Amino acid sequence: MNITIHSGNWEELDVDALAVPLAKGSTVDAALDARLGGLPGELIDTGEFTGKAGACTLIHRVPDSAVKRVFLIGLGEAPMARHWFAAAGQAVRAAAKAKCRSVALLLPPDACARLAAEGAGFGQHRPSGYKEQKPWPVEEVILLTTGDQSIADAGRITAECVNLARELVEIPANDLGPEEFATRAAREGEAAGLEVEVLDENDLRELGAGALLAVGQGSVRPPRMVRLSWNPEDPVNDDHLFLVGKGITFDTGGLSLKPANSMEKMKYDMGGAATMIGAITAIGRLQPRVRVTCLLAMAENMPSGTATRPGDIITAMNGKTIEVINTDAEGRLVLADALTYANRLGATHIINAATLTGAVSVALGSVRVALLGNHKSLGDGIALRGRECGERYWPLPMDADYLEPMRGDMSDLRNAGADRKAGTITAAKFLEQFVEGTPWAHLDIAGTAWFDKAQPNAGKGASGIAVRTLVRLAEGWGS
């Protein structure tokens, strides 16, 4: 799907469809309204189209033109980045449904072409590989606005990498265990021009990655750690940003087995790693002037005769001992070693993403990503980049008191508290014990990595949350 910018008039184009994003209370461009015999104005006056976010009203044909469909798309009352992003995706999906080959988006002259291009690309994603599908009909998306083509290209590349993250999350665990995941991550990393390293179980043993190995030991599919590095020729400073991802290819809970209905979705438990793969491959292709390394901790959490038992005491890579109270609190264990490894490799800043706790859905639902950490300006930077691209974050507190439930009786730490209170925060306090004071932010994406129902701009499935934020953060690093 090509995404181009055209700063002229839609009448100059030969397109199948026109999409017109409209805020509540605004009107259609007068020339277009006239060409449609005043129909859009009438639809608005009668309240048939209100501009409500996610609304889409279809008009058939513009007389004496090639245009077969016009979509009026609601932006809501006070359109923000996420509304523009969503409207672009919705337009592309509506065009595809109507079997249009090309669609032009009527945007304001100063519109954010980057966001619209990202949104359009995002709208193209469909689950793939397991069900027969008709070919995708939309070949051309034209953004009617000002701006250089390179902006649309960056948006398209970013969206392709978001969609890679989504595709990876949607692959079922029978086809994506740690080894397959590592191989695929390495392949994608190479294609994006990154330095690639895959550590197998023997390498991990040598490194003393006792926590990652303990999580993986119940599975016949051994753990992996993957490193993907972007080394720019001319970095703005000496910073080295690390992107660390939880890559549990399936989370049964281990011997602390999950009930069936809580287990169903757990192929998505590598969503943090998928997000980081999306971000680092976009970074490799867009080449921002900051050093970035991605570390992916991959394991399958299974119950078996070789599985870690509740009560087992394990030793993490940094030498800290951890009593495994609950084998279902495995994400923090694999991340513990990846965070230690990030520091060993010289991290100056660390961001990790993980589908870490069910509690984050209780706190924030599927609306916002929980943002925790030890460094105010890093967290603020993430939230700011999120606002710019329409991904929402919310900070949670990190008082020292929240570490108390995680202190061990017989070990340095325990991986779960006695109750579920503040589960998202206590998990983050556990992670903090492995960052060695390096500026660090933790994104708990358990509530936001998966759309439980179809959205105007996406089907049911993986959301690719946080990829776009992290790409922007890297692009703007040092400014």
Bridge partners (DSSP) of residue 242 are 293, 350
Closest approach of ligand BES to the CB of residue 399, in Å: 19
Site string for ligand BES, 438-457 (x = CB under 6 A): --------x-----------
Considering the complex, state which of residue 261 and residue 479 has its C-beta at the smaller distance from ligand BES: 261
Angle at 238 between CA 237 and CA 242, to 5 degrees: 110
Indicate whether 140 belongs to the interface with Mn ion (CB under 5 A).
no
Rg of the chain over Cα atoms, rounded to whole angstroms, equals 23
Choose, by CB under 6 A, the member of 358, 395, 459, 476 that binds ligand BES: 358
Bridge partners (DSSP) of residue 301 are 251
Choose, by CB under 6 A, the member of 147, 245, 331, 381 that binds ligand BES: 331
Sheet holding 56-60, edge to edge: 2-6, 140-144, 102-106, 17-23, 69-76, 56-60
Burial of 31 (0-12, 13-18, 19+ CB in 10 A): exposed
Considering the complex, state which of residue 182 and residue 248 has its C-beta at the smaller distance from Zn ion: 248
Sequence-separated (6 or more) residues with CB below 8 Å from residue 384:
none
Strands (E) located in 192-344 = 195-199, 224-230, 240-251, 291-301, 313-315, 321-323
For the chain, the distance separating the N- and C-terminal CA atoms, rounded to the nearest angstrom, is 32
Site string for ligand BES, 268-287 (x = CB under 6 A): -x------------------
- Judged by phi (left if over 0) then psi (alpha if -120 to 50, else beta), residue 77 lies in alpha
**Contact partner, 179, from Mn ion, ligand BES, Zn ion, none, Cβ < 5-8 Å per class:** none
Considering the complex, state which of residue 277 and residue 299 has its C-beta at the smaller distance from ligand BES: 299
258 is catalytic: yes
Closest approach of Zn ion to the CB of residue 226, in Å: 18
Indicate whether 218 belongs to the interface with Zn ion (CB under 5 A).
no
Indicate whether 366 belongs to the interface with ligand BES (CB under 6 A).
no
Given the residues 24, 258, 289, 387, the one annotated as active site: 258
387 is catalytic: no
Indicate whether 331 belongs to the interface with Zn ion (CB under 5 A).
yes
Given the residues 69, 320, 332, 472, the one annotated as active site: 332
Choose, by CB under 6 A, the member of 211, 416, 435, 458 that binds ligand BES: 416
Residues 228 to 267: which contact Mn ion by CB under 5 A? 251
As given in the structure block, the two tokens for residue 472 are: 């922007």
Considering the complex, state which of residue 257 and residue 286 has its C-beta at the smaller distance from ligand BES: 257
Other Cβ atoms less than 10 A from the Cβ of 297: the count is 35
- Judged by phi (left if over 0) then psi (alpha if -120 to 50, else beta), residue 182 lies in alpha
Site string for Mn ion, 309-328 (x = CB under 5 A): -------------------x
Considering the complex, state which of residue 117 and residue 422 has its C-beta at the smaller distance from ligand BES: 422
* Contact stretch for Zn ion (CB under 5 A) within 21-29, 244-252, 284-292, 454-462: 244-252
Indicate whether 432 belongs to the interface with Zn ion (CB under 5 A).
no
Closest approach of Zn ion to the CB of residue 253, in Å: 8
If binding means CB under 5 A, how many residues of this protein chain bind Mn ion? 3
Closest approach of Zn ion to the CB of residue 219, in Å: 13
Indicate whether 423 belongs to the interface with ligand BES (CB under 6 A).
yes
Indicate whether 201 belongs to the interface with Mn ion (CB under 5 A).
no
58-64: long-range contacts at Cβ-Cβ below 8 A with a sequence spacing of 24 or more?
58/94, 58/98, 62/18, 62/32, 62/35, 62/36, 63/35, 63/36, 63/37
Indicate whether 386 belongs to the interface with Zn ion (CB under 5 A).
no
Closest approach of ligand BES to the CB of residue 466, in Å: 15
Q: CA-CA distance, 410 to 399, in Å (whole number)?
A: 24
Indicate whether 328 belongs to the interface with ligand BES (CB under 6 A).
yes
Strands 321-323 and 413-414: parallel
Q: Which of 436, 417, 404 is nearest to 316 (CA)?
A: 436
Sequence-separated (6 or more) residues with CB below 8 Å from residue 465:
271, 275, 369, 391, 445, 448, 449
Q: CA-CA distance, 303 to 116, in Å (whole number)?
A: 45
Residues 249 to 278: which contact Zn ion by CB under 5 A? 251, 269
Contact residues: Mn ion, CB under 5 A: 251, 328, 330
Contact residues: ligand BES, CB under 6 A: 251, 262, 269, 326, 328-331, 355-359, 416, 423, 446
Contact residues: Zn ion, CB under 5 A: 248, 251, 269, 331
User: Any idea which residues carry the catalytic annotation?
Assistant: 258, 332
